[in-house]
Amino acid sequence: MIEFKIAKKSKKSSARLGILKTPHGEVETPAIVPVATLAAVKALRSDEIEATGTQMLISNTYHLHLQPGEGVVKAAGGINTFMNWKGPSMTDSGGFQVFSLGWGRDFGVGKVTSAKAAAKYYPDKIERAIEKGNQPKHVTFTEDGVKFRSPLTGDEMFLGPKESIAIQEKLGADIMFAFDECTPPGTTREYMAHSLARTNRWAEASLTARKSKQALYGIVQGSNHEDLRKESARFVNSIDGFDGFGIGGDIGESREGTKRILGWVTPLLDERKPRHLLGMGHIEDIENIMAGGADTFDCTVPTHYARHGIAFTSKGRVDFTKAPLLKSKEPVDRACGCPVCTGGYRRNYITHLMRAQEITGGALLTLHNIWFFNAYVAKLREKIRKGML
RNA sequence: GCGUCGGUGGCGGAGUGGUCAAUCGCAACAGACUGUAAAUCUGUCGCCCAUUGGGCUACGUAGGUUCGAAUCCUACCCGACGCA
């Protein structure tokens, strides 16, 4: 079980400072939650993750179900013991994979689709495809869940609220998420309404399925439609059993959407329960996320970009695949206190590693990026404390 | 010295008379990435203009055959292997 205490509420925004108590320790909120999809923050050892200042990790039900299987994780003593991570943990329900393997894959869209990129799909393609009754190519929805094929073995598999919760209980993280459908940008109101009704049923089914004492968050959907977002928030809030809230789904065409949607949703949620924004957290978004009243949020950006050579620094992004950096003797970021920047590593070396595809390059940048994001979030917590956010 | 095979864009390597500025891979360069099927994906990649498109120079070098050659012929240069 978890406990959430609010330490301070901002007068300027919906931001708040808090302490989230879990069986594996406390999380000072707002906090960023790095992503450890397959029980690993890609490229880092668990002791290195600790060195980034990370407070909590989120792993993935879908991926761990496919490999190595939740039974292995349970037999190992649960996700924390399994991956030698001592801090708090979450598992995502696998709902997002339904999206990324379904509509997301069919249309090549992510959670945020720029107006320019969207122009390729809107209005006809997605809307026509997503009309009620249609199915994405790689997954099949039923009332009880989603059928899909394992990309590993080709075997037919099924994931629904019952299955997801059973798997998450075996994984044994401190916090679980209800199984939901994450709809793509461009979702019509009609499809969204239909999907939301199903996600709501799945929310109740997830709760009913829970046998353990792990915390369970219900998820708010509704895409870019104000009335549906609000309806969803009211519904999830009305269910007693949830220990917190997840806010998921697409947020429209730009990062402005994050603020707008949180603005619709968080006022309707019981303020005593923690709120987690699912899958958002570009550096430019974080202030809005906090101001919108989210307590935790996860994002693949620091880890994913690191492996593609991008470092986030106090002066913006730096691309470590660019040849000119081979001559730079500077650290990744002079203003950064991370073990990489203070440990003697220089841009020339890391650039060489990235260009030579040495895994150490991605590892060093991952360490730096997560440290940088954590430090940035800590700075914003300070801003809330001082009444500036 | 003789013989055989071969010399293609930064590299590797296709192509063996027209649809070839030349498949493909690598490198290089540019771009994308927000609950990670993502150490991935996309684009450019002879030169000069241009929006489709056009012009120029190119397949070791120099000639030749042909309406037309990276592709055929001759000589030369270079490389690998074999024989002396």
> Helices A226-238 and A256-265 sit at what angle, rounded to 10 degrees?
50
CB of A95 nearer than 7 A to strand B: yes
- pLDDT, tens digit, for every residue of A152-173? 888 888 999 999 999 999 999 9
Could you confirm whether A174 is annotated as catalytic? no
What Å value separates CA A240 and C1' B41? 43
Using CB atoms within 10 Å of the CB of residue A359, give its burial: 0 to 12 exposed, 13 to 18 middle, 19+ buried: exposed
Average pLDDT over residues A127-149: 75
Q: What is the mean pLDDT of residues A355-378?
A: 97
For the record, the structure tokens of A197 come out as 């009704």
Alpha-carbon gap, residue A321 to A130, rounded angstroms: 39
Distance in angstroms: CA A310, C1' B32: 12
Strand A145-149 to A139-142 pairing: antiparallel
Distance CA A278, CA A110 (A): 13
As given in the structure block, the two tokens for residue A35 are 């992503």
Q: Is pTM beyond 0.95 here? A: no
Q: What whole-number distance in Å separates Cα of residue A279 and Cα of residue A294? A: 12
Q: Is the CB of A307 under 7 A from strand B?
A: yes
- pLDDT, tens only, A171-197: 999 999 999 998 877 778 888 898 999
Side chain identity, residue A135: Q
The SS3 assignment for A312 reads strand
For A121-235, list the strands marked E by DSSP.
Answer: 139-142, 145-149, 156-159, 175-177, 215-220
CB A167 within 8 A of CB A69: no
Model ipTM value: 0.88
Question: CA of A326 and C1' of B5: distance in angstroms?
Answer: 43
Region A347-353: mean pLDDT is: 97
Determine if strand B comes within 7 Å of the CB of A111.
yes
